[in-house]
Structure 1
Amino acid sequence: MADDTRVPTVIADGVHVIYKVHGAGARKGGATSALSRIFSRRSGPGMSEVHAVKGVSFTAYEGEAIGLIGSNGSGKSTLLKAVAGLLPVARGRIFSHGQPSLLGVNAALMNDLTGERNVILGGLAMGMSRQRIHERYEGIVDFSGINEKGDFISLPMRTYSSGMGARLRFSIAAAKDHDVLMIDEALATGDAAFQRRSQARIEELRERAGTVFLVSHAVNTVRETCDRALWLDAGVLRMDGPADEVCAAYEQSTRSSPATPSSPAGV
Structure 2
Amino acid sequence: MADSTAHPDEPVPTVVADGVDIVYRVNGASAGRGSATAALSRIMRRGPVEKASGTRLVHAVKNVSFVAYKGEAIGLIGTNGSGKSTLLKAVAGLLPVEHGRIYTDGQPSLLGVNAALMGDLTGERNVHLGGLAMGMSREQIRARYQEIVDFSGINDKGDFISLPMRTYSSGMGSRLRFSIAAAKDHDVLLIDEALATGDARFQARSADRIREMRAHAGTVFLVSHSNGTIRDTCQRVLWLERGELRMDGPTDEVMREYEKFTNVGRKAA
The normalised TM-score by structure 2 is 0.86
Task: Choose the corresponding residue for 1:120, options 109, 113, 128.
Answer: 128
Question: Is 1:9 aligned to residue 17 of structure 2?
Answer: no
- CA distance in 2 between counterparts of 1:145 and 1:255 reads 35
Partner of 2:64: 56
Tell me the C-alpha RMSD between the 2 structures: 2.0
Q: Return the alpha-carbon distance in structure 2 between the equivalents of residues 81 and 146 of structure 1.
A: 27
Structure 1 pair 260–95 and aligned structure 2 pair: CA distance change class (3 A): farther
Q: How does 1:62-73 map to 2 (within 5 A)?
A: 62-73=70-81
Using the TM superposition, give the Cα deviation of residue 54 of structure 1 relative to its aligned residue in structure 2, in angstroms: 0.2
Q: What is the rounded CA distance, in whole Å, between the counterparts of 1:154 and 1:258 in structure 2?
A: 45
Aligned to 2:86, the other structure's residue is in SS state helix
Match of 1:90 in 2: 98
Percentage of pairs with the same residue: 71
Tell me the amino acid that sits aligned with residue 210 of structure 1. Answer: G
User: How is 1:19-168 mapped onto 2 (pairs within 5 angstroms)?
Assistant: 19-22=24-27, 23-24=29-30, 47-168=55-176
Gaps of 5+ in 1: 27-41, 262-267
Provide the aligned length of Structure 1 versus Structure 2.
243
Report deviation, 1:43: 7.5
For residues 190 and 243 of structure 1, do their structure 2 counterparts lie closer, same or farther at Cα, with a shift above 3 Å needed?
same
- CA drift of 1:57 comes to 0.2
In the alignment, the residues of structure 2 paired with residue 64 and residue 136 of structure 1 have an alpha-carbon distance, to the nearest angstrom, of 25
**Alignment partners' CA distance in 1, 2:123 and 2:57:** 38
Deviation of 1:257 (Å): 2.5
Cα shift readout 1:25-79 (whole Å, capped 9, x = no counterpart): 69xxxxxxxxxxxxxxx9885x422110000000000100000000000000000
Partners of 1:164 and 1:256 in 2: CA distance? 35
Please name the residue that 2:195 is paired with. Answer: 187
SS in 1 for 2:237: strand
Aligned residue for 2:210, secondary structure, equals helix
**Residue 199 of structure 1 pairs with residue 207 of structure 2:** yes
In the alignment, the residues of structure 2 paired with residue 254 and residue 93 of structure 1 have an alpha-carbon distance, to the nearest angstrom, of 31
2:218 to 210, 220, 230: 210
In 2, the alpha carbon distance for the partners of 1:102 and 1:44 equals 34
Cα distance change on mapping 1:189 and 1:135 into 2, 3 Å: same
- 1:220 deviates by 1.6
Q: Which contiguous aligned blocks of 4+ residues in structure 1 show a shift greater than 6 angstroms?
A: none
2:259 maps to 251
Alignment-mate amino acid for residue 262 of structure 2: T
87-96 or 4-13, which deviates more: 4-13
Aligned to 1:240: 248
DSSP-derived class of the 1:257 partner: helix
Please show how residues 167-178 of structure 1 align to structure 2 within 5 Å: 167-178=175-186
SS of the counterpart of 1:188? coil
> What's the TM-score once normalised by structure 1's chain length?
0.87
Q: Helix, strand or coil: the match of 2:58?
A: strand
